[in-house]
């Protein structure tokens, strides 16, 4: 017991020290050029709003030009410099062109937020390969294409910060989300590897792994049904987009490598998954209704 208490005290001391160091080394975001993919709605739009209030200059990328125009008009009273680019991130040429226009307009690119993503949920055997390919293309290949394009000017300057939006599902596997989970696990792996690969060149790689977030991607999943099925509980709650956006901007300030973001349950089950996958299997069977989860994932759980 004494060793346990010493371990807890040491862990708390390390956490306090790391927090103090982060606060002392906070990056001023005024004038920074921030590119955000999937900026037309949800987490991307909220992230753009918060970076604008920090005085950053914004490059907003989305397939929906009309959504970008509305957001640009909304941000105009803040006096923020905003460039909008309607582009498909899964095309490497599109991202290279977006970076070229960014450099032509602002002369630099400081931060890339890889936020664009698609959800695919339901039983794996019901997915068709075309939908699977689309989710992989957007969630992983698109992120790779955006990252490669952004790294060209960042490496030339010897500085830059890339923030990838992963998911807590990468740590806590659940039925009905297998392909989505796989893409987000790939994002985590890529981020961890690139952080070590590029650190000597002055490039910072971070990622955030939020739990459930109420966005268009999860709109088909009824919250009351999720509670009944055990997907939501007092210790597993659903986040609002602006909460995730706040965490992304905080990571931009502190340059912390990663953050699992959500309520206590996400941290608990992430820990038990690493400790014993069999234990998490048991907990899942005890706390959730498997068939109901599959129905909710299909969008039929109302």
**Enzyme catalytic residues:** 180
**144-148 contacts, C-beta under 8 A, 24 or more apart:** 144/190, 145/89, 145/90, 145/91, 145/92, 145/94, 145/95, 146/35, 146/37, 146/61, 146/89, 146/95, 146/112, 146/114, 147/112, 147/114, 147/190, 147/194, 148/92, 148/95
Closest CA to 211 of 231, 189, 192: 231
CB 172 within 8 A of CB 214: no
Longest dimension (CA), the chain: 62
What single string gives the DSSP state of each residue in 219-273?
TTS-HHHHHHHTSSBTTB--B-HHHHHHHHHHHHHH--SEEEES-HHHHHHHHHH
Lookup: tokens for 275: 């400790």
Nearest-angstrom CA–CA distance, 294 and 216: 19
Nearest-angstrom CA–CA distance, 275 and 266: 14
Lookup: tokens for 137: 């293309």
Q: Is 250 exposed, middle or buried (CB count within 10 Å of its CB: 0-12, 13-18, 19+)?
A: middle
């Amino acid at each position: 017991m004494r060793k346990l208490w010493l371990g807890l005290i040491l862990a708390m001391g390390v956490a306090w020290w790391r927090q103090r160091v982060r606060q002392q080394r906070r990056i001023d975001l005024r004038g920074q050029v921030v590119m955000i993919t999937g900026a037309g709605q949800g987490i991307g739009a909220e992230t753009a709003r918060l970076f604008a209030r920090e005085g950053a200059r914004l490059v907003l990328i989305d397939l929906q030009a009309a959504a970008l125009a509305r957001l640009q008009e909304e941000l105009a009273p803040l006096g923020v410099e905003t460039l909008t680019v309607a582009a498909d991130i899964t095309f490497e040429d599109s991202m290279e062109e977006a970076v070229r226009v960014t450099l032509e307009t602002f002369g630099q690119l400081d931060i890339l937020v890889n936020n664009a993503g698609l959800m695919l949920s339901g039983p794996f055997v019901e997915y068709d390969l075309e939908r699977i390919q689309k989710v992989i293309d957007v969630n992983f290949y698109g992120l790779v294409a955006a990252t490669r394009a952004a790294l060209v000017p960042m490496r030339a300057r010897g500085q830059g910060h890339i923030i990838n939006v992963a998911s807590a599902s990468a740590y806590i596997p659940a039925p009905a989300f297998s392909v989505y989970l796989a893409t987000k696990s790939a994002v985590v792996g890529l981020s961890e590897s690139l952080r070590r690969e590029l650190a000597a060149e002055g490039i910072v790689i971070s990622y955030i792994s939020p739990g459930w977030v109420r966005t268009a991607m999860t709109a088909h999943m009824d919250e009351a049904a999720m509670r009944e099925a055990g997907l939501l509980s007092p210790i597993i709650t659903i986040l609002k987009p602006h909460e995730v956006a706040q965490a992304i901007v905080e990571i931009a300030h502190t340059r912390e490598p990663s953050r699992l973001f959500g309520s206590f349950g996400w941290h608990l089950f992430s820990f038990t998954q690493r400790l014993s996958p069999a234990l998490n299997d048991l907990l899942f069977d005890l706390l959730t209704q498997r068939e109901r989860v599959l129905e909710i994932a299909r969008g039929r759980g109302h």
